[in-house]
Amino acid sequence: MFKQLKEDIQAVFARDPAARNTLEVLTTYPGIHALIMHRVAHELWKKDLKGSARALSSLSRFATGIEIHPGAKIGRRFFIDHGMGVVIGETAEIGDDVTLYHGVTLGGTTWNKGKRHPTLEDGVVVGAGAKILGPLIIGKGAKIGSNAVVTKPVPAGVTAVGSAARFIQKDLDKNAEEMRRESYAQSIGFEPYAATRDQTDPLLEGMKVLLDRIQQNEVRMNTLCKRLTALDPTFKKQNYDQHPFSDEELKIIEEVRRECEAQHKMSDA
């Protein structure tokens, strides 16, 4: 117990630059207070002293604003920063070196007995206000962004952001389809700000479909321009000043002409 407490205090110094000394951590950090009382309550719970365990966890919630069910399993060097509003359910399992910020909920989505709360593997960081719901696994080293709502498993090393949470992954191999799509997006100056190819986001999927459609239409336009040029070699050299077009119409025609020439050059390259 005392060895665990020493490790928990060291975790505070490692992850909170505001911590100055051991006495300050022991007397003013509600996360440490809640963790000490939970470890005692958990031992009582395992010894089938469930009433005493629940009473101690209720006292802890009253004193710290952090609610941890005595049945929850918590690993070593666990750190709750600030802590107010944190809720950890009965069947939650937390690995080593995990960090939670205030307002985090590790909750369930069913009233059935059995495993119904999340499992956080080693090294997970959960941002303020995030909600992780259901008996899902958050992989080793994953990060959950502030106010994210997570309802499906998160792979190791991945960052989950948003509501509903979408995943941001780094250093993944691009397949030919993604490389073609990204190359075309760059060629037309399209820049999907705050979006990545790995986000499970319906808006992003819609953007991909639109990019594919636009490229197909431009290929067809290029083919049409080629055929018109073959039928009439003067197609791209007509003097539109002879026609009674307005300035706005002439501007549109000129833009179309330039587009045709650009498409013709791209197809020849």
In the prediction, which pLDDT does 253 show? 66
What does the domain layout of the chain look like in residue ranges? 2-168, 176-268
In the prediction, which pLDDT does 86 show? 96
- CATH 2.160.10.10 correct for 2-168: yes
Contacts 24+ apart (CB under 8 A), 102-108: 102/128, 102/129, 103/128, 103/129, 103/130, 104/128, 104/129, 104/130, 104/131, 104/132, 105/130, 105/131, 105/132, 105/133, 106/72, 106/132, 107/131, 107/132, 107/133, 107/134, 108/133, 108/134, 108/135
Q: Average per-residue pLDDT in the chain?
A: 82
pLDDT tens, 105-148?
999 988 888 999 999 999 999 999 999 999 999 999 999 999 99
Give the residue ranges of the chain where pLDDT is below 50.
Answer: 190-197, 199-200, 239-241
In the prediction, which pLDDT does 226 show? 78
Report CA-CA distances (Å) from 180 to 42, 187, 221. 55, 11, 19
In the prediction, which pLDDT does 243 show? 52
pTM above 0.85, yes or no: no
pLDDT tens, 212-243?
788 888 888 888 877 777 777 666 555 444 55
CA neighbor of 91 nearest in space, from 116, 126, 57, 109: 116
Query: What is d(CA 225, CA 215) in angstroms, rounded to the nearest whole number?
Result: 15
In the prediction, which pLDDT does 255 show? 74
In the prediction, which pLDDT does 260 show? 63
